Chains A and B, each alone.
Chain A
Amino acid sequence: MRALVREIYISIFEFVRTFGAFQLFFLRLLMHSPTLIVRRPGLVIKQIYNTGALSLVIIMVCGFFVGGVLGLQAYANLAKFNAEDSTGTVVALALIKELGPVITALLFAGRAGTALSSEIGLMKATDQLSAMEMMAINPVRRVLVPRFLGGVIAMPMLVAIFSCVGLFGAHVVVVELLDVDVGAFWQQMRYSIELIDIYEGIYKSIAFGIVISLLAVWEGYNAIPTAEGVGRATTRTVVISAIAVLILDFMITAVML
């Protein structure tokens, strides 16, 4: 019995400690960010390329089909009320406010988040980070901060591209294939979408970008330096990112409503 109480005590203690360490880690990254972006912009650009530009293909293909299926579903159900003309509104609202940021975030966690944490984990396992410390180079500043910033900058761009390509996909399906009037499709959309809806998408994408990049970098940096440890860190990145993104999405929506 006493052993059990002790076990629970230790696990709660460990949880709080990890949580605190996580916050301090975030602060450390933030502290190094401004000077790094001024002095070594090349490092950040390289990471924007890795996490952003190289994720373009998956984001655009998925965006096109998500938009297309939204258009199909919205059309099929709105047609029952003779309200096909509102298809554009439904698709655009769903894409811009919810599906764009969330699906992009999940894809981003799978495509870029895992790459980040396994790369950093492997650097740690092969003692590259220790070697840097030996050479008086701060690995947090040289390795982690550019990767974090790259993810944070790339994410809003990816979300905007996803939403745009999604709208184009919906246009192809709804206007070209299902013969909804093109003017009605775009005009109804314009009539009911306001700037605040777009801001909501942007806020969400920034928040998700920070969370995913932070988690990926944190998991990689704290990975157990073995093959299994790196694998586990990569898995944890995806799992925790997905949970965090969906919970955060709910909270931001509740606040913005």
Chain B
Amino acid sequence: MQQTRSVEIGTGLFVLLGMSALFFLTTQTTGGGNFSAAETYEVEARFGNVGSLKSRAPVAMSGVTIGRVTSVVFDPDTLEAKVVFVIDSQYDRIPDDSDASILTSGLLGSQYIGLQAGGSDIYLEDGSEILFTQSAIILENLIGKFLVNSGSSNID
């Protein structure tokens, strides 16, 4: 009987330890970059080129993450990329003439959407669209331009 008890206690401790390890992994090693809010509203924006922006990418304002991209699709009517993202409802006073640009965190980091506040009195709300957008900077295009420019300056 005594032996059964110690086995049961050992097993209980082991399972508890396993569960807490799993809990630690899921809560403590993830989530810093993720955005989670109970209430959000949806905003869309159109870009000429989204670069390598993916869904779940952060949406930041002044460097603080306030939302997350939910979908990136190509719109066959306007021939542009349509990006839909959600913003935490607590930030409900973002002017509707704010501009959205696709930025890169660090030199080789992942891409995110940066919002720059505008001056309008009308705020973004569920379903509104950001009209002022700036496409992602594609490194290859930049290098291409640079090469073309330096070539022509040599000829002069």
Chain A residues packing against B (C-beta within 8 Å): 42, 45-46, 48-49, 52-53, 56, 92, 96, 154, 156-158, 160-161, 163-164, 167, 186-187, 189-195, 197-198, 201-202
A9 to B30, CA, bound (A): 54
Complex contact B18–A158 (CB within 8 A): yes
Complex contact A164–B14 (CB within 8 A): no
A244 to B30, CA, bound (A): 30
State how many angstroms separate the Cβ of B16 from the closest Cβ of chain A: 9
When distances are taken between beta carbons in the complex, the residues of chain B under 8 Å from A56 are 14, 17
Residue B141 is within 8 A (CB to CB) of chain A in the complex: no
Q: B15 — nearest CB in chain A belongs to which residue?
A: A157
Main secondary structure of the interface of A (DSSP, over half): helix
Complex contact A53–B34 (CB within 8 A): no
Chain B residues packing against A (C-beta within 8 Å): 4, 7-8, 10-11, 13-15, 17-19, 21-22, 24-26, 28-34, 56
Task: Contacts A161-B21, A163-B25 given; indicate if A48 touches B15 (C-beta within 8 A).
Answer: yes
Q: A195 — nearest CB in chain B belongs to which residue?
A: B30
**A53-B11, A160-B18, A163-B25 are known contacts; what are 16 more A-B pairs with Cβ within 8 Å?**
A45-B11, A48-B15, A49-B7, A49-B10, A52-B18, A53-B10, A53-B14, A96-B25, A157-B15, A157-B22, A158-B18, A160-B21, A160-B25, A190-B30, A198-B25, A201-B25
A156 to B17, CA, bound (A): 12
A25 to B36, CA, bound (A): 45
Task: Contacts A48-B14, A52-B11 given; indicate if A160 touches B32 (C-beta within 8 A).
Answer: no
Complex contact B11–A156 (CB within 8 A): no
State how many angstroms separate the Cβ of B4 from the closest Cβ of chain A: 7
A92 to B34, CA, bound (A): 16
A81 to B10, CA, bound (A): 47
From A46, A156, A158, A189, contact of B29 by CB (8 A): A189
A-B pairs with beta carbons under 8 Å apart, 23 shown: A45-B8, A48-B11, A48-B14, A49-B11, A52-B11, A52-B14, A53-B11, A56-B17, A154-B14, A157-B14, A157-B18, A157-B19, A157-B21, A158-B18, A161-B17, A161-B18, A164-B25, A167-B29, A189-B29, A193-B30, A195-B26, A198-B25, A198-B29
